[in-house]
Chains A and B, each alone.
Chain A
Amino acid sequence: MDTAEVRQKVLDIIADVALDDDLSDLDDSVALREQLDLDSMDFLDIVMELKKRHKIEVPQEDYPQLASMQSCVDYLTPKFNQ
């Protein structure tokens, strides 16, 4: 799976979590929390959906890797391809 496909998978999850936000102008290099109305429970939602939909486990110490879309893609691409 290439990085564009991984980005789309992550975007699909965020769209189902940040239900009231417009994701069309998301800046991949900026922290998601700075652009979207997300709190700690939302990040747990993202972690749970990665587990449910893609069987990807994100250990608690790696949560900072989900800060921005770019960091998500960098961190998750190898896991999607395992």
Chain B
Amino acid sequence: MPNKQRIVITGIGLTAPNGNNLSEFRGALLEGKSGLQAKEIRHMGTKAAGLCDFDEFRYQKRKTRKRGTRAGSIGIYCAHQAILDAEIDWNTVDKDQIGIYVGITEHGNVETENEIHELYQNELNTDFWSHHHNPRTVANAPAGEISLNLGVTGPAYTIGAACAAGNMGLIHGVQMLRAGEVDLAIAGGISESPATFGIFAAFNSQGALGSHENPELSSRPLDKNRNGITISEGGCLYILERLEDAQKRNAKIYGEVAGYAVNSDASDFVLPNSERQTECIHKALKNAELSANDIDIVNMHATGTNQGDIQECKAINNVFKGTSAHINATKALIGHCMGAAGSLELAGNIPSFEDSMVHGTYNIDELDEECAMDNLVIGAPVKKEVKTILNNSFGMLGINSSLIIKKYI
């Protein structure tokens, strides 16, 4: 593949429930440090959630924070961190040639719920409905807030892909760089979902809201006694560049995008489909010109729902049974970061290229026999030389994504 088509990661900016930069996040995943805690949810009482504690005002003024959204604030923090990490010379870079591609599961629930709450405090008088409601709830809001903050005049928009969105932001960035639409992409995913009671209530009604008297144990993917999803916020944005551009400026290269695939189940609104997931993984391998035997780590989507985990384990066994791929999952420690899940969980594994460790899957007291897989890493990390990572992210309405990153040598 010509260097113009080879896309590399040169910067990572993130906030997760258990870390506000890659080093902290990686450390927490290796040590098994949870970021889950109890949160008071409007109308619902105390529920487990994953919350981030980054400094909102590090890169953002108080007025724009008040005017904007939590999702935008997370995005602004991650974008700045990624730019700093990539050592981009912000004064000279052509801001018209930068694309901002932000994956979101949903946007506008938080802001709409807040307005409706206020509406009821004001006896349903819509005269007090905020003029900020529309700019806060347009679907491109989080990406737009980043472009306003950074002065980026290139394309900036969100990509709605349910919980596959974090991978989709990255994939879209790769596509735009390969198409020559931009010279640099700030791409990944974000989520502000714990600030809305509606998502908690909906998962609760679906019988899929994770719970435990200890919030740190509320998310238990693959465990026999798992009982659902723990809703979290977070963000992870990458700096993506063409290899030749990265080489020209002697950039540090975290890894190269080897391949990807996206497909649809076309079978159910919420229930996953292991056959389509299997096909998606096979397509990603073909796109990367790799075989299952070439993959060192498979990071699962594994949300902690009963059917979701079983279906994904079937798909992984369909492809990787008998290979040397190690399997892990991240959500026990950070919950389900929704639109950020794919990009964050990938970032949590990328340091494996350097430290040769595979982080473990936590909160498995008794492995569900339907989730048994070869080389599943439970608990403590495993030492292993890592050259390829396959990251799965799946979402409602049957969207599947598999993304493969390889070590840049």
Contacts and interface: CB of A to CB of B under 8 A. Distances in A.
A binds B: yes
Interface of A: 17-20, 37, 41-42, 44-45, 48, 51-52
A44 B133 CA distance: 13
Nearest to A42: B63
B62 interface: yes
Nearest to B62: A19
B61 A19 contact: yes
B248 interface: no
Interface stretch (B26-34, B123-131, B172-180): B123-131
Interface in B50-97: 61-63, 66-67
A66 B20 CA distance: 43
Interface of B: 61-63, 66-67, 127-128, 130-132
Contacts of B67: 41
B63 A37 contact: yes
A58 to B, nearest CB: 12
Shortest 8 CB-CB distances between A and B: which pairs?
A: A19-B62, A19-B63, A20-B61, A44-B131, A20-B63, A20-B62, A52-B128, A19-B66
A51 B128 CA distance: 8
Nearest to A21: B63
22 contacts: A17-B63, A18-B63, A19-B61, A19-B62, A19-B63, A19-B66, A20-B61, A20-B62, A20-B63, A37-B63, A41-B67, A41-B131, A41-B132, A42-B63, A44-B131, A45-B131, A48-B128, A48-B130, A48-B131, A51-B127, A51-B128, A52-B128
Contacts of B132: 41
B41 to A, nearest CB: 26
Contacts of B127: 51
Nearest to A44: B131
B150 to A, nearest CB: 18
B151 to A, nearest CB: 16
